[in-house]
């Protein structure tokens, strides 16, 4: 997928999400409209650069695709090797997760009366084109895994901040928290703004 990447799809998504945030919607409206925008993006698998789709045999990869200049949102590709999963973790900002390739399974958690973490409802499976939301308001603690033990899966995440710099936590079964800042797997961003190499004809 290195040739003829449709990077205009990503630029269009970034532009429309930025315009949506300019309107300062409440979170419910933001997540609702944002899910629609992300669903349109992940409905096509022809825009993500190959270097942001590479798995690692040791752990899942979190590649920064784009960060808003005011750090209002970031777009990240999560690349899951076969059988890989996250620890139980939170985000502390709103988030949208759209499935691009393969599938992933997310299990939400909540605290019981003793403060321990217990599953919140059934696990959710995301297949290509599907989108779900998270936030501290609607549920923010979960564990995510590749639904496959024999293939790579890729999901596109959009967060309400520069997620690689947000102070978050991973959780033990007893509910205790360990702070972490995730960072990113890549050190360079793709150049999606060079229009000189694209066919600009209408």
Distance from C-alpha of 40 to C-alpha of 34, rounded to nearest angstrom? 10
Average pLDDT over residues 17-26: 97
Looking up tokens 């297949």 gives 127
Average pLDDT over residues 156-168: 96
Residues whose CB is less than 8 angstroms from the CB of residue 9 and which lie 6 or more positions away in sequence, other chains included: 41, 44, 46, 47
For 57-113, how does the pLDDT look when each residue is reduced to its tens digit (9 = 90+)?
A: 999 999 999 999 999 999 999 999 999 999 999 999 999 999 999 999 999 999 999
pLDDT at residue number 202: 53
pLDDT at residue number 201: 52
For 123-154, how does the pLDDT look when each residue is reduced to its tens digit (9 = 90+)?
A: 999 999 999 999 999 989 999 999 999 999 99
Q: Is the pLDDT of residue 180 over 50?
A: yes
pLDDT at residue number 3: 54
Tell me, rounded to whole angstroms, the distance of Cα 195 from its chain centroid: 26
Distance from C-alpha of 77 to C-alpha of 139, rounded to nearest angstrom? 21
Average pLDDT over residues 106-121: 92
Q: Return the CATH number of 7-186, one of 2.60.120.10, 1.10.3720.10, 2.40.50.140, 3.30.300.30.
A: 2.60.120.10
pLDDT band at 199; cut points 50, 70, 90? low
Q: What is the mean pLDDT of the chain?
A: 93
Distance from C-alpha of 114 to C-alpha of 78, rounded to nearest angstrom? 33
pLDDT band at 157; cut points 50, 70, 90? very high
pLDDT band at 31; cut points 50, 70, 90? very high
On the 0-12 / 13-18 / 19+ scale of CB atoms within 10 A, 96 is buried
């Amino acid at each position: 997928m290195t040739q003829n990447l449709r990077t205009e799809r990503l630029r269009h998504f970034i532009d429309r999400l930025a315009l949506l945030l300019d309107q300062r919607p409440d979170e419910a409206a933001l997540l609702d409209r944002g899910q629609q925008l992300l669903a349109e993006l992940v409905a096509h698998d022809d825009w993500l650069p190959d270097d942001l789709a590479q798995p690692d045999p040791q752990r899942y990869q979190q590649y920064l695709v784009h960060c808003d200049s005011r750090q209002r949102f970031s777009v990240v590709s999560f690349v899951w090797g076969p059988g890989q999963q996250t620890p139980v973790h939170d985000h502390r900002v709103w988030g949208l997760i759209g499935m691009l390739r393969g599938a992933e399974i997310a299990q939400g958690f909540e605290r019981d009366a003793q403060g321990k973490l217990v599953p919140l409802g059934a696990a959710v499976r995301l297949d290509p084109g599907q989108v779900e939301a998270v936030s501290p308001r609607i549920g923010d603690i979960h564990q995510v895994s590749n639904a496959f033990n024999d293939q790579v899966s890729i999901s596109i995440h959009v967060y309400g901040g520069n997620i690689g710099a947000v102070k978050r936590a991973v959780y033990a079964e007893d509910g205790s928290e360990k702070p972490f800042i995730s960072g990113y797997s890549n050190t360079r961003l793709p150049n999606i703004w060079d229009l000189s190499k694209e066919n600009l004809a209408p």
